[in-house]
Chains A and B, each alone.
Chain A
Amino acid sequence: MVATPGDASIVDRDVRLAVYRRFVEDARPPTPPEIAVELGVATLDVEASIRRLADGHVLVLAPGTPYVWMASPFSAIPTPFEVTVDERRYFANCIWDALGIPACLHTDAHIRTYCPDCSEPLSLDVREGELGSSAESVIHFAVPAAHWWDDIGST
């Protein structure tokens, strides 16, 4: 359904879906004008929607801009969490998000990262909805759940 001006909740839903659609297809978020063209609404309305979504912790924007930095689990910038799905390469915001990419796509994936202590390359594989049993590594959450959004870039 294409959004019509004046219904913020529908616009926000369609903008959110447009952001995720582009992330899935091209491993990058769309710009506000690209979303505006796709949805047939004004760029200003798209930017207002993006800011509402950011205020609601649905998206994270590059500081001081209307450009999407994170649509969890996807990252618009390269990170140490590289997720390969078929021929596509995505970047995730953290190891939880890296696992979240095959989880939301319902697909197999190969995840590459490295140990922050010793820089040893580490990998995880998801196949047919299961995580490879050879994984012996440890996931560390540094920030308690109640404070994840205090500084989401650090979380």
Chain B
Amino acid sequence: MLLFRSEEHVTRWAEERRTEVGATLTPQQGWKLATAWFEDRLSPDWRRRTPEEARTIFDGIGLTGPFWDPR
């Protein structure tokens, strides 16, 4: 997961590497994803998210579709 200046830079970077553009997020979406994913990481009771829990987090940030299907 990388940070680019803009969508145009993502497209050019992918073309140069002959790879496909995956999914892009705004930094605000990224921050929401980071807080939902990592806010309890240092808790003694933390455990890995189940696929269902991951999907709920993604859905809550508007990250839907096959790309965000954790299975």
Q: Which residues of A contact B (CB under 8 A)?
A: 13, 16-17, 20, 24, 56-58, 72-73, 94-97, 99-106, 113, 115-118, 120, 122, 124, 126, 129-131, 135-146, 155
> Judging by beta carbons under 8 Å apart, are A140 and B10 in contact?
yes
B residues within 8 A CB of A118?
5, 9
Q: With A and B bound together, what is the CA distance between A116 and B5 in angstroms?
A: 9
A residues within 8 A CB of B9?
115-118, 138
> Judging by beta carbons under 8 Å apart, are A104 and B2 in contact?
no
A141-B67, A142-B22 given; A106·B5 CB < 8 A: no
Residue of B nearest to A17 (CB): B44
A149 to B: closest C-beta gap in Å? 10
Of B27, B39, B66, the residue contacting A144 (CB under 8 A) is B66
Closest 3 CB pairs of A and B: A99-B34, A100-B38, A94-B1
A103-B34, A143-B22, A146-B70 given; A138·B6 CB < 8 A: yes
> Judging by beta carbons under 8 Å apart, are A137 and B21 in contact?
no
